Amino acid sequence: MSRQNKVIVDEAEGYVTAKLAGHWFALPISAVHEVFLLTRITTVPQSPPGIIGVLNLRGRLVTAVDTRQILGFSPAANELTMAIGIERQNELFGLAVDQMGDVLRSSSAEREPAPMNLDRRWREIVTGVQRSDGHLVLIVAVDRLFDNVVTLASA
């Protein structure tokens, strides 16, 4: 259903970067509500895969999303600590990440399209790749990421 929404990519100048399972990802700043610590998570019995649980962020209910599972990584060895808050249909989701990075400035000229040989699941999510500080940053289309959350949750 979120296909109808415009895919948020180029309009944003700045990107929030975060590290997950050894990869750097970037999300447009305009899509990010806030960044917060994942604490006091309530796990919900029988919740679908990809959902860690729910927590209270200053009186708001946040669904903590297991980004590793969504992207097909193995579960984290250590406790998840940080989350990127994304608002979707008046609900707040927290995408769990291993580590937060700097804000990345980017223009379309600096970006390359996602390589053809990328995993199909990733190719749907990653809209471009950019080199920064000697490592590759994968630029993520938030709406497409949420399509995955929805498919996982409804599976």
By the criterion CB under 8 A, which residues form the site for other proteins? 40, 42-48, 50-51, 54-56, 59, 61, 63, 65, 89, 91, 93, 149-150, 153-154
> Smaller CB distance to other proteins: residue 43 or 99?
43
* Residue 16 CB, nearest approach to other proteins (Å): 22
> Smaller CB distance to other proteins: residue 50 or 101?
50
Q: How far apart are CA 127 and CA 55, in angstroms?
A: 30
* Residue 112 CB, nearest approach to other proteins (Å): 33
* Residue 104 CB, nearest approach to other proteins (Å): 28
The secondary element (H helix, E strand) that includes residue 145 is helix 142-154
The secondary element (H helix, E strand) that includes residue 151 is helix 142-154
Q: How far apart are CA 75 and CA 114, in angstroms?
A: 25
Q: How far apart are CA 123 and CA 105, in angstroms?
A: 22
* Residue 11 CB, nearest approach to other proteins (Å): 25
Residue 76: CA count within 13 A, CB half-sphere = 20
* Residue 31 CB, nearest approach to other proteins (Å): 17
The secondary element (H helix, E strand) that includes residue 124 is helix 120-125
Q: How far apart are CA 123 and CA 116, in angstroms?
A: 8
Q: How far apart are CA 115 and CA 129, in angstroms?
A: 8
> Smaller CB distance to other proteins: residue 64 or 97?
64
> Smaller CB distance to other proteins: residue 91 or 110?
91
> Smaller CB distance to other proteins: residue 29 or 61?
61
